Structure 1
Amino acid sequence: MTTETKIDPMAIQQAAEQLRGAAASGKPVAPIRDLISAGGVDAAYAVQEINTRHALDSGRRLVGRKIGLTSVAVQRQLGVDQPDYGMLFSDMDVPEGIPISLDQVIQPKVEAEIAIVVGRDLPYPDLTTAEMIRAVEYVVPAIEIVDSRVANWDIRIWDTVADNASSGLFVLGAVPRKLEALDLRECGMVMEVKGEPISVGAGIACLGSPITASLWLARVMARVGRPLLEGDVILSGALGPMAGIARGDVVEARINGVGTVRAAFAAEVG
């Protein structure tokens, strides 16, 4: 026996407008799950797709994807058994060394990740692990500034998926590394502020490997009609717990074999 889910187009549109309004005003909204949860996760992705199309129609440029919920513990917390994904746009990419104003985001937190840059188009829903590995142009360390348009991070799976997988900004390390010499599962990570660790982890925490997570993403993107393209960036998932930040913080993430990346947050308002 299967359980039918119903997607209400008006509720989907309302949820999309609420999240766009929160992003524009900088004021978070109440959880939108009550509007759309009857439609399941598909309804949440329908909200995300509306806002993706709105962003593209407004002139924003798609440059990659992010993978969320790569930790089994977080999946259990949200009652799901797979990751989620969101879109990365060019205006989310902050060059390393450029101070980030916290006024650009609403409720920011940081995660250290391995970013994978794709060297070829991947329109294949049956992509193999070997093909995914061959498609990797290079990897760099990354700090993702995750954010939520939902007040107090009061999120369930429908909220975060609809909210572009709680995406915000991202900073990529400047020195690319080829994949051949690396086992991403074994890459340990330490993220620090003022020399004090705020998160530790390793590649194995990311669905067992960032390659496994990226393979999942590539297959899903091909199936939904937004395949990964040459040059796209994949934020492959958090290597450790996300952490809070404050004005004036300089966050440094070191990932063994992959490199170091820093995200500097402006001390002043504005």
Structure 2
Amino acid sequence: MTTTFDRGLALLDAIVAAELGSTGYPGNAQLAERIGLDQAQTSRMLKDLAAAGLVERDEPSRGWRAGPGWFALAAAAGDGELLRGARPLLRALVARRHEPAWLSVRSGTAVLTVGSEASHWASYVAATPGALTPLWCTGPGRALLLDHSDRELAELLDGVSFVGGGPRAARDLATLAARNAEARAAGVVVADREFEHDVVDFSAPVRDRLGTITAALSLAVPRFRLGGHTAEIAASVAEAARALQVRTGAASGPGPAATRAGRTADRPAS
């Protein structure tokens, strides 16, 4: 049976193959012909792929090319050691907490989910593989930014309007920087209603061999199920992130970027 997912993969594969070849960036009509769909179906699927950041328009030709989400996903998938190491830890978190757990990487100013384990209570958009969510109002996004200084945050998020997210999302750069300074000291982000109403993201950074943050490991818990266990849950997520670093032979502590961020946390961005 050919599913929508299969057709989407075929469409993405055709775009990447064309980009790697010498045929240029294919348009809607070319892609529809190559994968055997009508143009209306192709157009709808391209919009979905573009919304996920997996493809983007090449403005001069108006054809399609691989987007930032595809490159981030490819980079994460290329690090098989990270994904293999994360799977049992994500499963253990779900088994212990009965909540969705996932692994994310940064894709520009967004967060890309590259691996997840589902729970039984509900689906959670951020925990869906391939999901793209904002950096500034999600637990994993903030965890990925913990080593950024105020100046680096300002440069990266230049032009971000801080509109959307949950009721407690940061509405300006200063608030985000202050929250990250607090989370940096704790080593884990507790994003309470920052992305969705009544959901808390617990997220911890995952570092590579040089101490650089390359991923974030997260767990989402509805507020009514916290039961006074916020500190305990945060500790379990941080412990899982550290265990992943051990599995991948990563550094045991922050790298130079974290030290720089700590020194500049109280300086206003210019």
TM-score of the two chains, using structure 2 as the length reference: 0.26
Structure with higher strand content: 1
Q: Which has the larger radius of gyration?
A: 2
With the length of structure 1 as denominator, give the TM-score of the two structures.
0.26
Of structures 1 and 2, the one with the larger relative CO (CA 8 A, separation 6+) is: 1
Which structure shows the higher helix fraction? 2
